[in-house]
Chains A and B, each alone.
Chain A
Amino acid sequence: MPMSEIAVTLIKVLFLVLLWIFILSVASVIRGDLFGRTVPASELPQPEITEAPPANKKVKRRDRGHPSTFAITNGPQSGTSASLADGVVQIGRSADCQIILEDDYVSTRHARVIANDNGFYVEDLGSTNGTYVNGQRITQPTTIGLADAVRIGKTVMKLEV
């Protein structure tokens, strides 16, 4: 049996009201989402910083956590990382780099990190603005460990376990 006209109209209007209440609640969620939550940086997940590995890394490396990734820890793109499994991580602005930096001070192929049996090196590939390890501009392949910070432009990167 079809329903009475009044019931049909009531249900119809009620349904449309629900539809619009949904849209308004979505709008209020979006408004609440505009501003994130402000927390102290120390509450964020921290990269593990251990003390500088001893000179003889070849022996000790496997004992105390083998670095497996090279990650951006500070700067506009922090959170990005690249795996060291292939033995080399290239850093620069071009798309064939494993870490692509969006920064006018970074060269197309800026620097690379090499992992071999003797440890980890960072090497500048003739960049215009240089690569810095712990604040010092490097001129030759430089050994880095878990505690060393590599800076290119506005970006700071580290080895991570």
Chain B
Amino acid sequence: MTDVQMVVIHRSRRNIELLLLLFALGIGFSAYLITGLNLYGELPTNWLAAAGVWVILGAACHAFTRWRIPYADPVLLPCVFLLNGIGLALIFRLDQTSTPPANDVVTQLGWTGLGVIGFIAFLIIFRDHRPLQRYTYTLALLGVVLLLMPLLPGIGREINGSRIWIGIGPFSFQPAEIAKLVLTTAFASYLVERREVLALAGRRVLGIDLPRARDLGPILIVWAGCLLVLLAQRDLGTSMLFFGMFVMMLYVATERPGWPLLGLGMAVLGGLVMFVLIKVFKVGFFDHVLVRLSSWLDPFSDYDKNYQVIQGQFGMAWGGLLGRGLGEGRPGLTPLAKSDFIATVVGEELGVAGLMAVILLYGIIIARGLRTALIGKEAFGKLLAAGLSFTFALQVFAIIGGVTRLLPLTGLTTPFMSQGGSSLVSNWVLVALLMVVSHQFRKPVTTAVGVDPDSESTQLIPAVESRSGLFGRSSRRDAHRESAHRDGAEVGAR
């Protein structure tokens, strides 16, 4: 009998990543070239310089990934570059719809560069996500301050009816985008510590264990905070994103379906409170929430008020299956096509085939994030990866669902594609964080050969063999049943 212990390790796969990355850079750049060809019949004059900048950005990300986190997931970076490239090409395309042509694509490329710098800086500072676990309350406080910053007089700015911006000089910034990252980390760290308590079952209703009343504090605080954001900043998207993120992370941490049900109930309750405020008390500044609702349910009743949504629908309808071709549609007719409605531009110029591809790219990023959460062995990283991917998923769902009229429109950005620096930079950092976690989980670990815990005198019997959830715990009742079968050699420490 050979005594060779075999172990399964993840491959580094950096060369595959490089190939995919080159492919992604090529597709993104060809979108730019095709737009120029279709519009003017010739390549954009600066195409060589643009290609240079684009390849340098890709090469820098790849080089730092190779150096700092060689075992990170190989498909995240190429997917992100492809989305970012398509976004840049579409913003270039939309620049051409105004006379004289705007030059927003250069600003956006600058922000992409800053996003890449943020990505690299994150890899240099944090090769390991675990130190972040210690700053639970510092991060929570920072997140809340960032979230409420636009309310400060002086730096807060109101654009298009939502007060979610801060402006310093000519620059405006959406601090909620950074708060998204900071609060996910804080929630993950908090819930890792508290999940045992929060998983305790309270009253049982219709076969589902609801949480105990005394554990409701955290969710009530987050709920109230989100309502406050909704009231004061008049931004449905942000408040929905943060509440959904917290409830989902609670569910992942505790594996109790009672939490999301309770969260759903609280969200409905919050919506009703809003509705009563608007309808009965005629709170004037909710006009734009009402506009959003009517543009979702019945946009064609008022063509002028719901102009943006209707134009977006027409654009996608005209695009059809294969789209008009880059530069061949008329996406300039939709207001704010560069930021909120960029998904309809994809639908118009690349058709359903292109829009589905873009949605799949988002899906791949989310799936890889959740996969990272599944393979990990350490609770904080698992919860962090799950929380980040879920937040990302919720954001993509809300905005693409909003412009396609599946949901009421929210002011969220389309990650990596919308015009706007805060969203771009924070999503680049989000990907850096996901890749750091995946590197930590995928790297081969040092194993001492010959030290085998099974060979020692005391044999351990795991409490629950049937591992089900993300944390491998089935319900507490099962654990009790199993422990009754054990013959008392070891007593669970709980």
Binding site for B on A (CB under 8 A): 1-3, 8-9, 11-13, 15-16, 18-20, 22-23, 25-26, 29-30, 32-33, 35-42, 44-47, 49, 71, 73-80, 93-95, 100, 102, 104-108, 110, 127-129, 132, 135, 137, 149, 151, 153-156, 158
Structural contact, A15 and B491, CB atoms closer than 8 A: no
Contact check: which of A9, A45, A75 meets B325 at CB < 8 Å?
A9
Task: Indicate the member of B16, B78, B449 with the most A CB atoms within 10 Å.
Answer: B449
B4–A79 contact, CB under 8 A? no
> What are 6 A-B residue pairs whose CB atoms fall within 8 Å in the complex?
A25-B23, A33-B13, A44-B446, A75-B453, A104-B463, A135-B456
Contact status A95-B357, CB under 8 Å: no
Which single member of B26, B79, B323 contacts A26 (CB below 8 Å)? B79
User: Interface residue count for B (Cβ, 8 Å)?
Assistant: 77
B99 within 8 Å of A by Cβ? no
Chain A residue with the shortest CB-CB distance to B479? A104
* CB pair B23 A22 closer than 8 Å: yes
B8 near A38 with CB under 8 A, answer yes
Q: Does B37 contact A (CB under 8 A)?
A: yes
CB of B55 within 8 Å of the partner chain: no
B136's nearest neighbour on chain A, judged by CB, is: A95
A47/B446 in contact, CB under 8 A: yes
Given A23-B360, A95-B133, A128-B492, 11 extra CB contacts under 8 A: A16-B323, A26-B364, A36-B8, A44-B444, A71-B446, A76-B377, A79-B443, A95-B136, A95-B192, A128-B493, A155-B453
Looking at the assembled complex, report how far the CB atom of A132 sits from the nearest CB atom of chain B, in whole angstroms: 7
Contact A41 B6 (CB under 8 A): yes
- Known contacts A22-B23, A95-B193, A156-B451; is-contact A128 B41 (Cβ 8 Å): no
Is B351 part of the contact surface with A, judged by Cβ < 8 Å?
yes
B95 within 8 A of A: no
B11 interface residue (CB < 8 Å to A):
yes
Question: A75–B420 Cα gap in the complex (Å)?
Answer: 46
Pick the contact of A38: B7, B364, B377, B457 (CB < 8 A).
B7
Q: Closest residue of chain A to B457, judged by CB?
A: A135
- B447 to chain A: which residues have CB within 8 Å? 41, 44, 46, 73-74, 78
CA distance A76 to B472 in the complex (A): 12
